[in-house]
Structure 1
Amino acid sequence: MTTAALAPAVLIASPAFAAGTDAPAQGNQPAPTTPDRTSPGQADEDRKTILAIINHPMASEYMKEAGHKAIADGPQAMRKFIETDQHRIRVDDYRIVLLRLLPDAGPGLKRGINEILDTATKAEQLRHFYEVTQHELRDDDNAVAISRLIGTGGPAVKEAAKKALESSPAGRAEFLKTGRYRAQASDDLVELARIDEGWDGPGLSEAISKLMNGSPTPAELRHFLEVTQYQLRDQDNRVTIAQIISVGGPEILKAGRAALAGTPADRTEFLKTGQHEARAKDKDQAAKDQAAKDKEKPAPGKDGQEQGNGTGTGTGTGGKTTGSGTGTGTGSGNTAVAAQGHNGTPLATTGAGDNTTLIAGGAGTALIAGAGALLAARMRRAGARN
C-alpha cells in the first residue's frame, strides 16, 4: 500500500544520512588548510564532526564504518572523510533508499525515481527528490488510484472516495491505507445478502448466514467473496448434479458424470445448458423407442384375421371364400374377406371348396389370397369367352 508517510520513518530502517545538509554539521565547516597544516585543535573538531555524522540515527552502516576508519587513520583521513568521502557515501545512500521505494511506488513515482537515478549526480538533488518530490508524485498516484475506485467501487466506496479526493494528501493516503477497506466492507455485506437471496444451494447460504451473523473483518469479507463463495458454489453444484443424474436418462447420466469429473466451470455449464440438452436427447430417444414398439404390435381390434362386414357373395362349398376384401360368404363355417377388383366389386371365388380355405395370418397369407382371387377371375373370363 502506498502512503504519504514522511521520509524519516523509512530512513530509520534504511541506509541513512548525516544530520543537516550535505555539508558537515553547522559550526564544523572544514578549514581550507592542507592536511599537513592541520592543528591539534582542528583534528579535535574534525573528530567531533565525524562522530556527529556517524552517530546520527539515520547514518548508514557504510557511513559509520568509513567514519570510524577515518578517525583511526588520523587527521589527514578525517579531513578527507569530511571534505569528500562523506558526500560520496551520502549519494550512494540516497540511491539505495530511493531504490527501496520502488516496490510500493505507483506508476508516477516509479518513473520519477528512475529518472532521478539516471540524471542526478549530487546529493542535494537526490535529497530534494527524497524529501519533497517523492511525496508530490506519491500523492498524484494516490489521486489516480482513488479516481479509479470512484469508477469501479460500490456505493459506499464511491462516496468515501469522493470525500478523500477532495481532502489533503494525508487524507488521501489514509483512505487508501484503511478507509477504502472500511467502505468496501459495507458494500461487501450488501453483496453477500444479494448472493444469499439468489442462491438455492444449502452450503453457500449457510456459510453466508454464519459469516454475516458474526463479526467479520473487511479482509475476511473480501476473502469470502473472492475465494470461499466459489468453492461453496461448486460444492452445491456437485450435489445438484448428483441428484439430477440419479433420476435422469442415459444422456443425462453421461453428461452429468462428465461434468462431475471436469472443472467448476464445466459443472456450472452443465446446470445452465448441458442438462437441458441431454434431457432433450433422452426424450427424443424415448419417443423413437416407443414408436418402434408400437409398430411391432398388431393394429387395434385385429387378432390376426380381418373380419368382413360388407355384403357380397362367394362361391364354393361351405361358403368359404379365398379373397381378401370386404364381404361375407354364404353358408356355414369361417368367413374370410373376398378380394376386390379394380372397380371395387368383390372378385369371384375359385369354388375349390375347403381345400382353398386360407387363414389370414400375415403378409404372406394376404399375398396368397390375392393371387388365388386373381386366378379365379381369369378362369371366369376364359369360360365366358368359350
Structure 2
Amino acid sequence: MTDIRIEQLRVPDTLDGEGAADFLRAVDVSRQVRVSTWGNDDLAYTGEELLALCHDPYEWYVMLVARVDGTIVGRAGIAMPLDDQTELAHVTLDVLPVAEGRGLGRRLLEAAETFVRGENRRVVVVETNHSAPELRAQLESATDVELLHPATGVGALPLANRQARFAHNAGYRLERVEQFSSCALPFPESRAAALLESAAAAHGDEYAVHQWTDTCPDEWAADVARLEQEGGAPAGEGSWDVARLREAEELSQSTGRRTLVTAAESRTTGRLVGYTSISVLGHRDDVVFQDDTVMEGGHRGRELGLRMKLANLELLRRAFPHSHAIYTWNAAEDTHLITINARMGFAAAGVTGQWRKSFDPEM
C-alpha cells in the first residue's frame, strides 16, 4: 500500500545543517519541474536562493511537501507578505511529472489553503507556466478550443491545458496573462549598433544616460523613488520613497543578488524620466532577468526605452560576461514593451497565468 503524506517542511538554518537533505530534495523537485516545462533549469531556484527567500524579513515563507513512501515528490511554497497586502498569500506548486495523476497537486493546494486561512489570509494567488510549444500544440490539435480569458488585460489560456484546468477546477479565477520571453547572450554588436542608430534618430541628444550597480547614487534616489511610485510599483504595495528604495536595495544585496540600472535624464529639466534594471542572481550569473522598465508618459514613443535597455545590456556584458540568456515577463497587453523586446531579438518562450481565489465573497 502506497503511503502518501502532506507535511510542513522544517527550513534549515544552513544547507549543511539539520533538515538540509529534505530541503535540498524539495529544491530539486522544483528544478525538475522547470526542466520539464521549459527544457532547462534556468528558472529554477538554487538551494542558496530558496534558503534566502525563506529568511526574507518582509515575507513569511512556508514550505509544504508531499511524500510518497517517504520520498519527497512535490512541494507547495507559501509566501505571505508581512508589510503590505497582509491579506494575501502566494502559493507555488511543484509536483514531479512522474508523480502526477495521484491527486498530489490538489492535496498540496488544499493543505496550503487551510494553512493560509488559519493565518487570516483571505486571498490566494497561484501561478501556472505554459511553454509556447505546449500551447501551440494544444491550440492546433482541436477545432473548437474553449478559452479562459483573464479578468484584466488580454490573452487567454485553453481550458484543455492541464495546469489551467487544474486551477480553474480548484475555484481560481484567471486574473492576468503575462508573456514570457528570452534572448540569447551575448547581444550581437551589429544588432546593438543598428538599434542605437535608430534610437539616436528618434530623440537625438535630449537625454543623458546614467548607470549604477546595486545602489542608486544619492543625487538620483528621489527621482527613482518617484518613478517607482508613479509607474513601477504594483498596485497595493504602498507608497515609495527614498527610505523604501534603500530598504529594497539592502534586501536584494543581502541575498547576493546584483542589480544593474540604466536611467535617462532629461537635459531640459535635469530630472530622471525613466530607468530600466537587470537582476543577476547571487549564486549563478549565467542567467539574468530583465526587471522594470519605467518611463514618464511624456517621454514614451521616442525609443528612449530601447536606448536604456541597450545601454544596460552593454553594462551587463562588461560586468557579467558569462551570462548566456536574459529573460523577461510582460503583461500581454503591454504591446509597446513587447514590440521593443521583439526588435531586440527576444523570442516568445511561453506565457504565465496569474490566478486568484478569495475566501471572502466581497473580495
Would the TM-score normalized by the shorter structure come out above 0.5? no
More strand by share: 2
Task: Give the TM-score of the pair, scaled to structure 1.
Answer: 0.17
User: Greater relative contact order: 1 or 2 (C-alpha under 8 angstroms, separation 6 or more)?
Assistant: 2
Larger Rg, first or second structure (1 or 2): 1
More helix by share: 1
Task: Give the TM-score of the pair, scaled to structure 2.
Answer: 0.17
